[in-house]
């Protein structure tokens, strides 16, 4: 986009900001919490964009004035000062322009949503279960660093201390915008602790990151559900409690089955199972919509589908590689301690660049 195109677009967005402010000034909007939150977020983003734009225009004006002074100035010492100022202003203008273009990218409507994450071992037996546990702890540490709240919805551990399945929610600011890049197949290459011959084993686990759906976004009819209750049990069949507190919900139209036995209360387990069911139905709905836009989907770097191999964790080489974006980092222990931003930040930069290229065409 040219500066003039950006300026014209900003002028249109200023009109939109006035409309949003008018809507937010109506007391009736506060009875509609979802609409109110959406409008407030939109207005905050627009105000941030306008502030960056005003700073950018000031930098461009100062840059033009300094270049004009440089052409007329005869004092060499003062010329050096002006030249230094021009270089600083150029860097500031370029940085502000990048920020503006990023803010102009249409937002993912799910970026502000909380999420439900499912982690399951795929190929590799005990070693896959152990790595599922490693990744679960990495996400836990990452949530703590971000100040997000994590809630375990279902957790089944393996005999060796790994994880057969982990289902948990994460809530906080811009959770989905950071965690959405984790969906897919994660491959690990390392020497298992049980391997006496020192051979490297390859295992895989699947991760699904689903935005939590609001009740108004996904309607679930009671007549479409079959609810079964049974006695919860731990590893090896050991009884967790002596009442039928575990819940299995089957969504008859889609065949999706969700279970929950984490809590001692049947009511609480049903509530958890319904949250997970809504998230899965919402994910399915979005995948169906994406399939209708196959051409634009193929243009993306990664689909986010849980069947797509997205990342390799190579322990002998101390390397993590994201195959969708061709990004690698060489500090596996630090990443597994929860510093996912060392990888995710690079992914976001590339993703923004791809969207900016599309925006400018």
Which residue in this structure is represented by tokens 């375990």? 152
Higher local confidence (pLDDT), 240 or 83: 83
Does residue 296 register a pLDDT over 50? no
Task: Please give the average per-residue pLDDT across 133-138, as a whole number.
Answer: 94
- Crossing angle, helix 33-72 and helix 3-24, to 10 degrees? 150
Q: Is residue 196 exposed (0-12), middle (13-18) or buried (19+ Cβ within 10 Å)? A: exposed
pLDDT on residue 298: 41
| pLDDT tens by residue, 144-169 | 999 999 999 888 888 877 899 899 99
User: From the CB of residue 35, how many other CB atoms can be counted at a distance below 10 Å?
Assistant: 14
Reported as a pLDDT band with limits 50, 70 and 90, residue 216 is: low
Q: Where are the alpha helices (DSSP H) in the chain?
A: 3-24, 33-72, 76-104, 125-146, 175-179, 266-292, 294-298, 332-336, 341-360
Reported as a pLDDT band with limits 50, 70 and 90, residue 293 is: low
Q: Using the 8-state DSSP alphabet, how is residue 300 labeled?
A: S
Q: Using the 8-state DSSP alphabet, how is residue 223 labeled?
A: G
Which percentage of the chain shows pLDDT scores above 90? 36
CA dihedral 261, 262, 268, 274 (to 10 degrees): -70
Which residue in this structure is represented by tokens 């960056």? 52
From 31-45, 208-222, 269-283, the region with the lowest mean pLDDT: 208-222
Residue 305, C-beta contacts closer than 8 angstroms, at least 6 positions apart: 183, 184, 287
Enumerate long-range contacts of 252-258, CB under 8 Å, 24 or more apart: 252/224, 252/225, 252/226, 253/224, 254/281, 254/284, 256/280, 256/281, 256/284
| CA pair distance 311, 319, nearest whole angstrom | 10
Higher local confidence (pLDDT), 102 or 315: 315
Does residue 278 register a pLDDT over 60? yes
Task: Please give the average per-residue pLDDT across 103-112, as a whole number.
Answer: 78
pLDDT on residue 305: 46
Reported as a pLDDT band with limits 50, 70 and 90, residue 218 is: confident
H/E stretch holding 259 reads strand 256-260
| DSSP per-residue codes, 328-349 | EES-HHHHHTT-THHHHHHHHH
Instruction: Kindly report the average pLDDT of the chain as a whole number.
Output: 84
Backbone φ/ψ region at 338: left (φ over 0), alpha (ψ -120 to 50), beta: left
pLDDT on residue 292: 63
**Strands 184-190 and 309-314, bridge-based pairing:** parallel
Reported as a pLDDT band with limits 50, 70 and 90, residue 311 is: very high
pLDDT on residue 74: 74
CA dihedral 162, 164, 168, 174 (to 10 degrees): 70
Reported as a pLDDT band with limits 50, 70 and 90, residue 243 is: low
| pLDDT tens by residue, 15-57 | 999 999 999 998 888 888 878 888 888 898 899 999 999 999 9
Residue 44: helix, strand or coil by DSSP? Answer: helix
| pLDDT tens by residue, 332-353 | 999 999 999 999 988 887 887 7
| CA pair distance 285, 282, nearest whole angstrom | 5
């Amino acid at each position: 986009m040219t500066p003039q195109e950006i300026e014209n677009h900003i002028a249109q967005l200023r009109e939109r900001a006035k409309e949003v402010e008018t809507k937010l000034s109506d007391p009736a909007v506060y009875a509609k919490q979802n609409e109110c939150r959406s409008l407030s977020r939109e207005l905050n983003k627009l105000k941030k964009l306008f502030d960056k734009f005003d700073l950018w225009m000031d930098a461009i004006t100062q840059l033009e004035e300094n270049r004009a002074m440089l052409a007329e100035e005869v004092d060499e010492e003062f010329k050096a000062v002006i030249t230094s100022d021009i270089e600083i202003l150029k860097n500031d203008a370029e940085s502000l322009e990048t920020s503006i273009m990023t803010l102009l990218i249409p937002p993912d409507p799910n970026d502000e949503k909380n999420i439900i994450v499912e982690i399951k071992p795929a190929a590799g037996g005990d070693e896959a279960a152990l790595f599922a546990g490693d990744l679960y702890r990495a996400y836990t540490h990452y949530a703590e660093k971000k100040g997000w709240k994590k809630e375990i919805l279902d957790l089944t551990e393996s005999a060796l201390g790994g994880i057969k399945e982990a289902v948990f929610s994460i809530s906080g600011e811009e959770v989905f915008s950071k965690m959405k890049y984790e969906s897919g197949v994660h491959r690990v290459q390392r020497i298992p602790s049980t391997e006496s011959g020192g051979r490297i084993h390859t295992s895989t686990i699947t991760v699904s990151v689903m935005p939590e759906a609001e009740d108004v976004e996904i309607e679930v009819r009671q007549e479409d559900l079959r609810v079964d209750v049974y006695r919860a049990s731990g590893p090896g069949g050991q009884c967790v409690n002596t009442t039928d507190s575990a819940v299995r919900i089957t969504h008859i139209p889609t065949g999706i089955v969700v279970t929950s036995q984490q809590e001692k209360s049947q009511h609480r387990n049903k509530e958890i199972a319904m949250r997970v069911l809504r998230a899965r139905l919402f994910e399915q709905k979005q995948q169906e919509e994406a399939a209708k836009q196959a051409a634009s989907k193929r243009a993306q770097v990664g689909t986010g589908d849980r069947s797509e191999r997205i990342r390799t964790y190579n322990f002998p080489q101390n390397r993590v590689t994201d195959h969708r974006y061709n990004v690698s980092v060489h500090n596996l222990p630090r990443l597994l301690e929860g510093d996912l931003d060392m990888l995710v930040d690079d992914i976001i930069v590339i993703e923004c660049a791809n969207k900016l290229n599309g925006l400018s065409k």
